[in-house]
Structure 1
Amino acid sequence: MTPLLSVSDLSIGFGEADPVVEGVSFDVMPGQTLALVGESGSGKTITCRAVLRILPRTAQIRSGRITFGSEQSPLVLSELSERRMRDVRGDRISMIFQEPMRSLSPLHKIGNQVSEVLWLHGRISERQAKRTVLEQFERVGFPDPERAYNSYPFELSGGMRQRAMIAMAMVSKPDLLIADEPTTALDVTTQAQVLGLIKDLQQETGMALILVTHDLGVVANMAEQVVVMHKGRVMEAGPAHLILENPAHPYTQQLFNAAPAIPDLETVGLPMPEEDLILEMKSVSKTYVMRSGRGWKADTLIHACRGVDFTLARGKTLAIVGESGSGKTTAARIALGAEPPDPGGEVLFRAAPGAEPITVHKMTREERTAFQRQAQMVFQDPYSSLSPRMRIQDALTEPLEIHGIGTSAERRDLAAEILQRVGLNADMLKRYPHAFSGGQRQRLSIARAMMLDPSLIVCDEPTSALDVSVQDQILTLLEDLQESHTLSYLFISHDLAVVARIADEVAVMRQGLVVEQGPPDTLFYNPQHPYTKALIAAQPEPDINRPINLKLVALGAGSPESWSEAFRFTDSMIPSLVELEPGHKVRCHV
């Protein structure tokens, strides 16, 4: 059988520097899924961009041959003219990019952007294009295709934007789809549904798929062939079942060892101790009013949090788990005093053991200044939270300047010390954020949070977009800092494998409500709520014999009104959080 795509001895370089991709070869058969696996910087994405000839201007294909098509009419893509390549891109070969918000124009409606593919390649009328796009939107799982067609990208959630990107890539029925980390920053339940969708569309149309990923669990659920890359070279290649069951190369083994997993040991965890609490949240709710914009329509109330009760013991980690829009980050912002709770809610903070509690949302100016030294935050996207115009030294010393701590020399010395503490070199102080990798930028964010020697750190999805090996390093760093500084963490995540490793207590949130709470060892081995079961079922495992159970995911991740009667809730009828066993609470009707 002739390969649909053949990449032979491909080398790519920038300017006069050494090649960043060297001697890469692989074949993709019709209808087959090939996974390109490796860390950031391994050359996966630039190899795929070379196939479509959309490399950066300073990059050149130095050697190699890329052939696409059947034996009767092969196209040598590496030698094709730019005019003929335009006919291939988006029509015969489509690509889903890693970050849909950056790939979609913020100024144009989703429907127009997807229709453009048909206008460029199909020469069909606007009415026919709209009909075809709406059909595609329905197939990719938009609950209201017409509304999605007329929406701008910022009006859709991350999962919905990724579905729009899939629709754009699929609408022309390509022979080959390249999916570059299509699920990296998605919730696990959304990720499972998106992977299932790609698989269904692939079976329906018979297209081939190149899946770029660093997640071996995703590989186990999707791929027939695997190519493992590291520093621009192929380390290992072959059938997925052989590589996943018996990886031969040390680098592949290292990827397996770094991947977080829910441990197999069945134990019963102990609830978090409550004798020395650093943070208490009592009956915290948060309601936003969304203006209708039309005089005859009533405003809409958005219940971001509803009756949240949390306690965090000093030196421990409370993890809040849930999908986008579940209220995790809102709860964290209220805990830090960035948002006030609705009347009736209360947030208490104790700076030291035995100290009188401070009501966070009623602090005086002096109390707030002192509180901000004690409570810091590590954000999800370190590139956005670090100013691109400030050197690292200035970014780290800025909090000290604001609080009037130390001289310039003392601030600089402390910045160098903290950098070394988080695993970076002091000579990096003069660099700008763009000069660092994703894992290094996350270390810089942690270093900035540590500059004021806080006792509480809120970690908002600190590892969601990182490679598994870098993620392992960041989690190890957080554990070491917690042990050496008696830090307390409020850890927000959608990845249960990460939570299983770092948390002392887990709270699962859905639609602003805590639906289940308890120690991780109890929660993962005796989950009671359908949504908790869906989160566990959606966690991809690097085992080809344990695929994701999409039916269980769809059941728990669906509307609360579709759950069994014991767990069902509506806006007007919400069951209480009931303690089923010591420390294990479930929201259900008893």
Structure 2
Amino acid sequence: MTALLDVRDLTIGFGTSEPVVDRVNFSVNAGETLALVGESGSGKTLTCRSVLRILPDAARIRGGSIHYSGQCGDQFNDASGPVDLMDLPEKAMRAIRGNRISMIFQEPMRSLSPLHRLGDQVAEVLRLHRKMGRAEAKRAVLEKFDKVGFADAERAWRSYPFEMSGGMRQRAMIAMAMVAKPELLIADEPTTALDVTTQAQVLGLIRTLQKETGMAVILVTHDLGVVANMAQQVVVLNKGRVMESGQAGHVLGAPAHPYTAKLFAAAPMIPLVAKPARAPSHDDVILDLRAVSKTYTMRAGGWRKPVTVSACENVNLQLERGKTLAIVGESGSGKTTCARIAMGAETPDPGGEVLFRPSPTGDATPVHSMTSTERTAFQRQAQMVFQDPYSSLSPRMRVQEAMTEPMEIHGIGTAADRRDKAAEMLQWVGLDPDMLRRFPHAFSGGQRQRLSIARALTLDPKLLICDEPTSALDVSVQDQILTLLEDIRERANLSYLFISHDLAVVARIADEVAVMRAGVIVEQAAPDTLFYNPQHPYTRALIAAQPEPDINRPIDLDLVAKGAGSPTLWPENYRFEGTQAPALRELEPGHMVRCHA
């Protein structure tokens, strides 16, 4: 059988430097899914972009061939046999891009125009390639919006990208790639920054559409759990070269190359728990959130009344000194709002308060009624590590300036003392002090996250709030950052408030877990208790949605859909409508669940 796409000895380079893609070979058949696996910088995306001939201007294909046996327009047809896409005229390539071969890009916000409505952007594919009129194209797009999971297809048609969440924008990108019914879909990290529940639904959607249309899929990812749930063939890339390739069952079941084994070892997994551990004691609490709620008033426009949105409601959390409390949930669940309130960046609604106790024998200080002197001391003792290492460091400041700035603000030491402290903190996070003279753009994503952690540590804080510090990192870099955080916690006796949507990450680092959904805590317990005896349907959905690198343990999409769906569809003991959620009750020592009596 002739492969739909056959890539042979593909070599890509920039200028006169060593090739970044070096003699890569693979093929994919119709109806088959091929996974390109590897860390950032391994050449996965460049390889896929070369298929559509949309490489960066400085990149050059130095050798190899890309043969395509599908339909290629009027000049080439199936009877002529496979054609080399490198030799195809540009007019014929335009007929293929977005039509016969479509691509889902990694970052939907950068791939969608902020000036045009979603419906018009998706319909453009049909007007260009199928010559459809506006009404016919709109009907086809609305039908596709329904299939990709938009609850209100008409509203999605009228919306701009910035009005949608990341998961909804990714669904729109999938609809755009699928609406013309391509023969080959290239999905470049389509779920990297999505919540695990949304990721499971998106993967299920791609699988369903593949069965309906018989298209081939090239899936670019660094997550072996995603590979196990999607792929029949696997190609493992490292530094532009193929390390290992073969059937998914063979590669995942018995990886032969050390690099593949390294990816397996770094992949976070929810542990199999034999029995629950002790309940958290809460004897020495460094941070105490009491009855914290936060509502925002949104302008509705025109003569309509303003809309009130509840970000979090009646949140009670206690963080033990020297321990890690994790808040887990999907985007929009209220996790970051709680973190901002804990830092004093947001004010809770009347009736809520946050208490900070810097020492075991000292008095607790209300964070939101501090004097200016107390607030300065608090800001030195409580620091935050943000989700995006690219935007949390100024591109105009050298690393030394970024590292010493917090100490300058708080008047700590001389200039020489501050430089020495910055160099020491770089060594703490595994970086060379010689890097102080560089700018942030000279570092990888994992190195930038290390810099962000080092910057937060320069003030010798007692509390570190980590907001999704590993969500956009490769699994091996993620493993390094988690190991680093564990080491620093023990070395400096730090307390962590850790924000995440990934239960596998939380299982490794947390001493206690609070699961949030729609602004309320639905379940809270020590990790072992939570994974040994999860009670709430949403907690079960988060656990079920975690992809594992085992083809014999696929994601249970039905369980994910039930738990991540509307609270009105949950089992009777947990069901509620609107904001009338049941109370948080203690089922066993240290195990709280929101349910009816």
Asked whether 1:43 is paired with 2:39, we answer no
Q: Which residue does the alignment assign to 2:73?
A: none
C-alpha separation in 2, matches of 1:268 and 1:314:
22
Match of 1:508 in 2: 515
8 A contact 2:273–2:531 mirrored in 1: no
SS at match of 1:383: coil
Structure 1 CA distance for aligned equivalents of residues 333 and 274 of structure 2: 28
Partner deviation per Cα, 1:302-335 (whole Å, 9 max, x = no partner): 1111100000011000000000000000000000
Q: Distance in 2 between matches of 1:277 and 1:483?
A: 17
* CA distance in structure 2 between the aligned counterparts of 1:273 and 1:332, rounded to whole angstroms: 22
Residue matched to 1:305 = 312
1:426 maps to 433
- Distance in 1, Cα, partners of 2:445 & 2:583: 41
Match for residue 533 of structure 1?
Answer: 540
What is the identity percentage for the equivalent residue pairs of Structure 1 and Structure 2? 71
Deviation at 1:273, TM superposition (A): 2.3
- Distance in 2 between residues matched to 1:367 and 1:265, nearest whole Å: 43
Aligned to 2:23: 23
C-alpha distance in 2 between matches for 1:459 and 1:102? 25
Correspondences of 1:79-478 after superposition (within 5 Å): 79-295=87-303, 297-478=304-485
How many angstroms apart in 2 are the aligned matches of 1:281 and 1:545?
42
Secondary structure at 1:6's aligned position in 2?
A: strand
Q: Please give the secondary structure, in 1, of the residue aligned with 2:391.
A: helix
Determine the C-alpha separation between the residues in 2 that align with 1:298 and 1:354.
50
Q: Which sits farther off after the overlay, 258-267 or 60-69?
A: 258-267
Structure 1 residue runs without a partner (length 5+) = none
Q: 2: distance between equivalents of 1:75 and 1:156?
A: 40
The aligned residue for residue 66 of structure 2 is 66
**TM-score normalized by the length of structure 2:** 0.98
1:564 aligns with 2:571: yes
* Cα distance in 2 between the residues matched to 1:270 and 1:335: 26
> What is the SS of the residue equivalent to 1:466?
coil
Following the alignment from structure 1 to structure 2, what is the Cα–Cα distance between the partners of residues 439 and 340? 32
Distance 1:501 1:553 in 2: 22
Q: Partners of 1:388 and 1:120 in 2: how far apart?
A: 39
State the Cα deviation string for residues 338-359 of structure 1 (Å, max 9, x = none).
Answer: 0000000010001111111110
RMSD: 0.9
Q: Compute the displacement of 1:177 (Å).
A: 0.3
User: 2:274 and 2:305 mapped to 1: Cα distance?
Assistant: 51
Between the aligned partners of 2:33 and 2:370, the Cα distance in structure 1 is 57
Match 2:590 to one of 578, 583, 590: 583
Q: CA offsets, 1:423-455, max 9 Å, x none?
A: 111111111111111110110110111111111
Normalising by structure 1, we get a TM-score of: 0.99
Residue 11 of structure 1: aligned partner: 11
CA shift, 1:572, in A, is 4.9
- Determine if contact 1:228/1:234 at 8 Å carries over to the other structure: yes
Task: Assess if the C-alpha contact under 8 Å between 2:538 and 2:564 holds in 1.
Answer: yes
Unaligned runs of 5+ in 2: 71-77
> Are the aligned partners of 1:276 and 1:354 in contact in 2 as well (CA < 8 Å)?
no
Task: Specify the SS of the correspondent of 2:220.
Answer: strand
Q: For residue 152 of structure 1, report the CA deviation from its aligned partner.
A: 0.7
1:117 CA drift (Å): 1.2
Contact 2:273–2:532 under 8 Å retained in 1 = no
CA distance in 2, matches of 1:299, 1:57: 48
The SS at the match of 1:413 is helix
- One-letter identity of the residue aligned with 1:12: I
User: In the aligned structure 1, how far is the partner of 2:579 from the partner of 2:158?
Assistant: 31
Q: Do 1:14 and 1:58's aligned partners in 2 also have CA atoms closer than 8 Å?
A: yes
Task: Report the 3-state secondary structure (helix = DSSP H, G, I; strand = E; otherwise coil) of the residue aligned with 1:167.
Answer: helix
- The structure 1 segments of at least 4 consecutive aligned residues displaced by more than 4 Å after TM superposition are none
Q: 492, 496, 500: which one pairs with 2:499? A: 492
CA contact (8 A) 1:177 1:207 kept: yes
